[in-house]
Amino acid sequence: MLATLPAEQRAVAVGLGELRVTRDPQEVLVAYGLGSCVAIGFYDPFAKTASLLHAVLPCHLNGEDQFSTKYVDSGLAMMLRALNLKPAEHTRLKVWLVGGANMLASAPGLARSLDIGKRNIAAAQDTLRQLGLKICAEAVGGHTGRTARLYVAEGRFTMRKIGDPERDLSPSNESEKPR
């Protein structure tokens, strides 16, 4: 079942290794087909600004581009810079984390050694903790792909697993803490 948007809203795809920041209430930021990738959403309710990162790998290695949104660690740093917040204002951000599935679960021997999803989740959780940011809800792990949506007008974040209905992960539903 695909989610349909009201006529006044439009989906803006956030592709692999991309970051989007917007204040446009008509936009819905969407990370489609998250497998081992993670989507990290920020929403600033004061400035009504939304940001979505679609990170592919956990962290850059020495010699690699340390200013790339392809990586969880550098992508999160770039998100904060793009939002142009003072460090004291970081605490007002609503933060969501979705994805990090182990898509190679059925491949013996590869499932553990190449579990990029698990490494992406750990990198996101660790980096967010180091930045002093608290995750208000997450839907991570498993073996199924997901799509994440950040509705700018309402500051609402949803997730849909393949074959399941869309689920709201917004703070009012925080007690669910879906996995």
Binning pLDDT at 50, 70 and 90, where does residue 10 land?
Answer: very high
Handedness of CA 15, 121, 114, 78 (dihedral sign): positive
Q: Is the alpha carbon torsion for 121, 126, 128, 133 positive or negative?
A: positive
What distance, in Å, lies between the first and last C-alpha atoms of the chain?
20
Distance separating alpha carbons of residues 58 and 75, to the nearest angstrom: 10
Closest alpha carbon to 67 in 83, 78, 81, 56: 78
Contact 50, 58 (CB under 8 A): no
Domains of the chain plus CATH, in order, are 10-173 (3.30.1330.200)
pLDDT class for 105, splitting at 50, 70, 90? low
8: which 2 tokens? Answer: 């006044």
- Model pLDDT for residues 23-78, shown as the tens digit of each residue: 999 999 999 999 999 999 999 999 999 999 999 999 866 666 667 899 999 999 99
Cβ(76)–Cβ(85) below 8 Å: no
- To the nearest whole number, what is the mean pLDDT of the chain? 87
Of 15, 107, 5, which Cα lies nearest the Cα of 53?
15
Q: Which residues of 79-114 are buried (b: 16+ CB within 10 A; e: fewer)?
A: bbebbebeeeebeebbbbbbbbbbbbeeeeeeeeee
pLDDT of 3 > 80? The answer is no
pLDDT at 179: 42
- Of the chain, the percentage scoring pLDDT greater than 70 comes to 83
Q: Which of helix, strand or coil describes residue 110?
A: helix
pTM score: 0.88
The top-scoring range by mean pLDDT among 67-71, 103-107, 109-113 is 67-71
The gap from C-alpha 113 to its chain's centroid, in whole angstroms, comes to: 24
Beta partners for 94? 43
